[in-house]
Structure 1
């Protein structure tokens, strides 16, 4: 990965940029519009939102105002838990599409594996995909057993699994399973919401390259072939997060960062969430 224009190729041939902007907890209106426009000006071509984030309108507005051609931007959104089920998912998608103000979405995800519902939800995603309203479909927060359960019945294998992933939670078995099945792993909360900014290992490696711990983590993600979507609303941070293509971590440094794993989550466990 030599530049911000580099992309992963999903199993259906769709190109997904390795680096994107996440907009979880970014306020709709000026805050999200400015963040997305700053990211697009800095060369990002991938924005990750969700119905639950309540800022799809702002994301759509920013895309329109940016002047960047629509086909150059990769947009992800997700169906929320209370909308899961076949018909309700189709309706939720229609709402998201209207809010964003686009003709199609690049990637639509099942936000969480809601028990007894996610398979019906995913069937709706398959329909949207066949109808050409989405270019790729996938899941978020799925463990191996959720994926196996889904893949035993689905027609179209998920193209992406977006999960909590950072040096304290490396999810090695899940990553290996996804690789084996050509499902692209994507990291949310890659920077552990700032929880690793004073981690000595990252500071030490960062010193060598003149990079921040955040930049070291994001580079580590990319070298593990994990798509990553750091969130920020601060212009200089948005730009800094993209400044990770002028150096490469050694195999030894990658292993040192891998060794920080503690199987520690900052978000809910997908087997035990309550919302």
Structure 2
């Protein structure tokens, strides 16, 4: 299975996303079952955020992991821009930890840029890391210009990962961002790695070339889409599913090795960018 190393911690390259989970009490048992299925299949990363359902996703994760050994988990959460100040961030993180039922997260991300000066946010992220409430910190929805600005700050290069939208139908980050992050040993976390219905003009999973590659590997189209994302070095994918079978399949996609011929076929369907594009954001 492909792996990614974040701040010295090696984790399987496919984890579990939780956006939109925890919103419907009637689905709680099913969603917890899906998280358990993903962990049983070998996932370690669970990605969540205080924004997701105004904390309901974190509460759901907390219920799902209460009997799971902490060292079997790599927990990521995120702070909203409105809470990313010296005055508010620790209170925000404490609330996330309480909902998750843990004393620390493994990675705490600045969800997207807001009005607080970047240096203030970064210094507070570093302080909370040194206080042990998170093992590492990072950023989300940052592009190359943002990262260059970050790297000029005293604590900026302490960032452990950047999380952005990336999938076969949304390849803009390949033009310069992935290369910049590789050059600076900054792992990349891909959200919406199989595409999002409201983001893409067509469904990636129904593309003939994707289906051809899936048949070659006796895999589902979604597994191929995930395998493509994590075929990039130091890229972690966090697909979300509330279905236990699908969640297991997602995690097992990390075992699929795409050939040069597979990659060529996928490139023909969805070519790599030839110029800098605006960062895709959901």
TM-score for the superposition, normalised by structure 2: 0.85
Q: How many residues align?
A: 261
Q: 1:9 aligns with which of 5, 13, 19?
A: 5
1:222 maps to: 230
2:245 maps to: 236
Deviations 1:96-138 (A, max 9, x none): 1111110110110000122454432222111111112211211
1:63 maps to: 65
Residues 120, 17 of structure 1: CA spacing in aligned structure 2 closer, same or farther, 3 A cutoff?
A: farther
2:258 maps to: 249
CA offset at residue 210 of structure 1? Answer: 1.3
Determine the C-alpha separation between the residues in 2 that align with 1:69 and 1:208. Answer: 37
**1:1-275 equivalence runs, <5 A:** 3=1, 7-10=3-6, 12-28=7-23, 30=28, 31-53=30-52, 54=55, 55-65=57-67, 68-155=68-155, 156-170=157-171, 171-172=173-174, 173-193=176-196, 195-225=203-233, 226-259=235-268, 260-261=270-271
Determine the C-alpha separation between the residues in 2 that align with 1:57 and 1:245. Answer: 27
Determine the C-alpha separation between the residues in 2 that align with 1:233 and 1:38. Answer: 10
Determine the C-alpha separation between the residues in 2 that align with 1:74 and 1:253. Answer: 31
Deviations 1:30-80 (A, max 9, x none): 254333223223322111100001211110111113xx3111100000001
Determine the C-alpha separation between the residues in 1 that align with 2:72 and 2:210. Answer: 33
- Structure number with greater CO (CA < 8 Å, separation at least 6) is 2
Residues 236, 17 of structure 1: CA spacing in aligned structure 2 closer, same or farther, 3 A cutoff?
A: same
The root-mean-square deviation of aligned C-alpha atoms, in Å, is 2.2
TM-score for the superposition, normalised by structure 1: 0.87
CA offset at residue 157 of structure 1? Answer: 2.6
Bigger drift between 31-40 and 140-149 goes to 31-40
Deviations 1:196-243 (A, max 9, x none): 111121011111111111111111112112100110001111111122
| Structure 2: unaligned runs, 5 residues or longer | 198-202
| Structure 1: unaligned runs, 5 residues or longer | 264-268
Determine the C-alpha separation between the residues in 1 that align with 2:182 and 2:110. Answer: 19
CA offset at residue 271 of structure 1? Answer: 9.2
CA offset at residue 7 of structure 1? Answer: 2.9
The answer on whether the counterparts of 1:48 and 1:75 sit within 8 Å (CA) in structure 2 is yes
